[in-house]
Structure 1
Amino acid sequence: MIQDKEFHFSFREIDDITELPHALQELLVQSKNAVSNAYAPYSGFKVGASVLLENGTIVSGGNQENASYPVGLCAERVTLSAASALHSNNAVVALAVTACGINSHIDKPVAPCGICRQTILEYEERFNRNIEIILQGESGKIYWIFSVKDLLPLYFGNNDLTNTNHS
């Protein structure tokens, strides 16, 4: 029998940064500052990301492009990898992502790509806790999402690797 199914998720759309809790306001500001660390000479699309760790530390990074396009790194993966390398036993509590166009103004939230969504999921599963995600362009609305699983329906996670030895 064929059945139609649907995915639904809730998120918050926010008009002004002051409507966020203070810690998430600071995280969003830091992600905007991280845009200046982005290296995007080919696309002109600069992205900054910041993560808040459970110990209160904020780690930030920007996307890093390469002339061989597929080998560039998104800001989210740069930031998550740096946080893991520097603070390996601290769970990620929240992630903020912002973007800036070199030749255009971005006035809407920019969401993580599929690879980044999968990477965020790995950190949720590693520490067994949801990661709140804050998204904004240079200006405009802010999206507050409560887990990457909302952005990645039918995700592939560590529980799908039942026949392998993983910890």
Structure 2
Amino acid sequence: MKKQITIEYEVYPSIEKLAEEDLQLMKQAVLARGNAYAPYSNFHVGAAVLLENGEVVIGNNQENASYPSGLCAERVAIFQAGAKFPGVAIKSVAITATSKNYAVEEPAAPCGNCRQAMIEYEQKQKQPISILLMGEKGEVIKINSLSDILPLAFNSSFLE
């Protein structure tokens, strides 16, 4: 038996075409991106998390000479949101990336570790978290749920 997994997402030609709430969130991610600590990869990522209470929590990638010790922007933002506002649902996450070495011309998607960390929050709150993805400029992709970009996700049911 074969099965197929498909996702549906929206593509906006530029940040200016986003709904106001999404536009403001992506602008916060762009600002966060500017403070990334990325002396090794020169790849700067910013993330902004919009909570159900209206608060926005930001994060950016933090590299380390011992590469596994660094942390991606998405996890910095999500973990900070969980620590600062425990129990408050996450509505959406905006992610944007740029590089000092080349132009990031297409939306940058979160790595597997970040997807797994973020879907934990989606599963816990039992409501979808939308994702906005952008390079340094240009197209913006909007995905309705983390489960769309991490189908068949590992979850706590496997640990029972």
TM interval, short-chain normalised: over 0.9
Of 143, 148, 151 in structure 2, the residue corresponding to residue 150 of structure 1 is 148
**Alignment coverage as a number of residue pairs:** 160
Give the equivalent residue in structure 1 for 2:36. Answer: 38
Q: Which runs of 4+ in 1 moved over 3 A?
A: none
Choose the corresponding residue for 2:97, options 99, 102, 109: 99
Q: Which amino acid aligns with 2:157?
A: N
Larger radius of gyration: 1
Alpha-carbon shift at residue 22 of structure 1 (Å): 0.9
* Maintained 8 Å contact 1:125/1:158: no
| Structure 1 spans left out of the alignment, 5+ residues | none
- Taking structure 1 as the reference length, the TM-score comes to 0.92
Unaligned runs of 5+ in 2: none
Report the CA distance between 1:98 and its aligned residue.
Answer: 0.2
Question: How much does 1:21 deviate?
Answer: 1.7
Q: What's the TM-score once normalised by structure 2's chain length?
A: 0.96
* 1:47–1:62 CA contact under 8 A, matched in 2: yes
Aligned 8 A contact 1:130 1:147 in 2: yes
Q: Report Cα offsets for 1:25-84 as digits up to 9, x if no partner.
A: 100010000011210000010100000000000011100000011121000000011111
Of all paired residues, the percent bearing the same amino acid is 45
In the TM superposition, 1:30-69 aligns within 5 A as: 30-69=28-67
Inter-partner Cα distance in structure 1 for 2:139 and 2:18: 12
Alpha-carbon deviations, 1:58-116, whole Å to 9, x = none? Answer: 01110000001112100000001111111112111000000010121111000000000
Please state how far the C-alpha of 1:147 moved relative to its aligned partner. 0.7
